[in-house]
């Protein structure tokens, strides 16, 4: 007898994340990605769509809709700074997980670090709770574990990430906080280091997307903070080593 169902009602004998990992595909699962036209988000979308997962992509610029459709996602115009949590909840309803992949970006000032990286992530979290979306993955950053108490934009950014992460940790969602080092556009090597303790490094966006993809197929990743950089292990090896002290999911 099927014991599990997706938020959209499909029935599974195994936990959907276990089924996704074991079979590599899961038709019926839906993931909402905020900041869906971003570099990591587009890479993650391609991976999820290839596995049969439906992707709802939240974007702020209607001109980006075609790019999302072209890679198989369903675009929804939803500006995280302007939309209410209720409007965001309507956009992500029926999803099994939401991913915060948005960011104010390198050219932005301190104000948008707060309105996007902090408040956007917290609003998406509130929307998950009210739309009954169980999973929440947030792309945070190395440094958010101990943000500097200064006024420069990077310090404000790290405090914004830290405050959002604190809200996520305090939530009752099935959350995972991912803290990469410096992101690059180098081609992914599929070789990473995953650690529960902070450490600095750099990592191709391709490989961060691969880690997010693997985390979405891993029920043991719930309530986990993970630091990600380029390393020597495959994503699967690194993830299994990181989670080895957690009981296996059935």
Ligand X SMILES: NC(=O)c1ccc[n+]([C@@H]2O[C@H](COP(=O)([O-])OP(=O)(O)OC[C@H]3O[C@@H](n4cnc5c(N)ncnc54)[C@H](OP(=O)(O)O)[C@@H]3O)[C@@H](O)[C@H]2O)c1
Task: Kindly list the residues in this chain that would bind ligand X in the complex (CB under 6 A).
Answer: 35, 37-40, 60-61, 79-81, 101-105, 116-117, 120, 139, 141, 180, 182-183, 205
Q: Which is nearer to ligand X, 179 or 220 (CB)?
A: 179
| 184 vs 164: CA distance, rounded Å | 23
C-alpha neighbours within 13 Å on the C-beta side of residue 161 = 27
Nearest C-alpha neighbor of 101 from the set 174, 51, 43: 43
Shortest distance, position 212 Cβ to ligand X, whole Å: 10
Instruction: Kindly state the smallest distance separating residue 184's Cβ from ligand X, in Å.
Output: 8
Q: Considering beta carbons, is residue 104 or 226 the nearer one to ligand X? A: 104
Q: How far is CA 177 from the centre of its chain?
A: 8
Residue with tokens 């997307």: 209
Closer CB to ligand X, residue 14 or residue 32?
32
- What's the closest the beta carbon of residue 129 comes to ligand X, in angstroms? 19
Which residue lies nearer to ligand X by CB, 14 or 235? 235
178 burial class (0-12, 13-18, 19+ CB within 10 angstroms)? buried
CB of 209 to ligand X, least distance (A): 9
Residue nearest to ligand X (CB): 38
**Pairing mode, strands 191-195 and 224-230:** antiparallel
């Amino acid at each position: 007898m099927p014991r599990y169902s997706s938020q959209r009602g499909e029935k599974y004998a195994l936990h959907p994340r276990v089924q996704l990992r074991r079979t590599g595909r899961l038709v019926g699962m839906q993931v909402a990605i905020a900041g869906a036209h971003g570099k990591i988000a587009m890479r993650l979308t391609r991976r999820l769509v290839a596995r049969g997962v439906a992707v709802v992509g939240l974007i702020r610029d209607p001109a980006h809709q075609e790019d999302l459709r072209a890679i198989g996602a369903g675009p929804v115009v939803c500006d995280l700074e302007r939309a209410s949590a209720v409007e965001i909840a309507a956009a992500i309803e029926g999803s099994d997980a939401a991913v915060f992949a948005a960011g104010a970006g390198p050219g932005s000032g301190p104000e948008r670090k707060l309105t996007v990286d902090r408040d956007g992530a917290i609003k998406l979290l509130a929307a998950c709770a009210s739309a009954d979306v169980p999973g929440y993955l947030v792309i945070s950053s190395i440094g958010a574990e101990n943000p500097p108490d200064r006024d420069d934009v990077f310090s404000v950014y790290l405090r914004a990430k830290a405050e959002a992460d604190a809200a996520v940790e305090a939530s009752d969602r099935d959350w995972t906080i991912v803290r990469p080092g410096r992101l690059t556009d180098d081609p992914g090597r599929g070789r990473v280091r995953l650690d529960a303790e902070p450490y600095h490094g750099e990592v191709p966006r391709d490989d961060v997307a691969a880690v997010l993809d693997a985390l979405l197929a891993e029920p043991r990743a719930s309530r986990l903070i993970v630091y990600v950089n380029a390393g020597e292990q495959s994503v699967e090896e690194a993830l299994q080593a990181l989670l080895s002290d957690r009981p296996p999911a059935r």
